[in-house]
Structure 1
């Protein structure tokens, strides 16, 4: 774990909750549960620094802004919880289209094996 500077709060990144994924893009043939998954879920070696009012940032971005995580309170360990925000992430549609291709390929392979 990294050393905390004065005022910093440890962060954990988590999958999207209902507030983050409701209305997010999900292509046909992909289970909606896939929408919840963020590329950095589980990452816990990040720190957040509160602003002058003591508030933590509302969002954290990664990949030059392509992936967004939204603040969702603190967990029992006192870490700031940031949840994947697919509706705010510019890369979400492209990633989900890639996931749809994988599901479609898998379905074709299964159909071919059953012949």
Structure 2
């Protein structure tokens, strides 16, 4: 559990919703649902400090700016919900290309298994 200092708001990182993944890079052969997944989804060890007006930062970035999460309101527990933002994450295309390779390898293995079973 995160140690929240006075004035801070706990954060939960979640997969992208439609607003975040619409128009994001998705290579052929990869289900678009894979675009939603962020590398830090489910993490709760972060907190943000609201500004003077009570607003939280619109975007949080991680790993030297490689991954971005976009603010999407508060949950029932009062945590600030940040959703993975693939369009704002410079590492997203490289990750998706890697995912595409895994899907292609899996499809090739299945094809070889079907051919060997005949």
Would you call these one fold, judging by a TM-score over 0.5? Answer: yes
Normalised by the length of structure 2, the TM-score is: 0.95
The 5 A counterparts of 1:25-44 are 25-44=25-44
Larger radius of gyration: 2
The aligned residue for residue 69 of structure 2 is 69
Name segments (4+ residues, structure 1) moved above 2 Å: none
The alpha-carbon deviation at position 50 of structure 1 amounts to 0.8
The alpha-carbon deviation at position 62 of structure 1 amounts to 0.4
Take 1:4 and 1:13, find their aligned partners in 2: how far apart are those partners? 16
Normalised by the length of structure 1, the TM-score is: 0.98
Q: Per-residue CA shift, 1:58-105, capped at 9, x if unaligned?
A: 000001000000000000111000000000000000000000000000
Q: Secondary structure at the match of 1:28?
A: coil
CA RMSD, Structure 1 to Structure 2 (Å): 0.7
Structure 2 unaligned spans of 5+: none
Question: How many residues are aligned here?
Answer: 115
Structure 1 unaligned spans of 5+: none
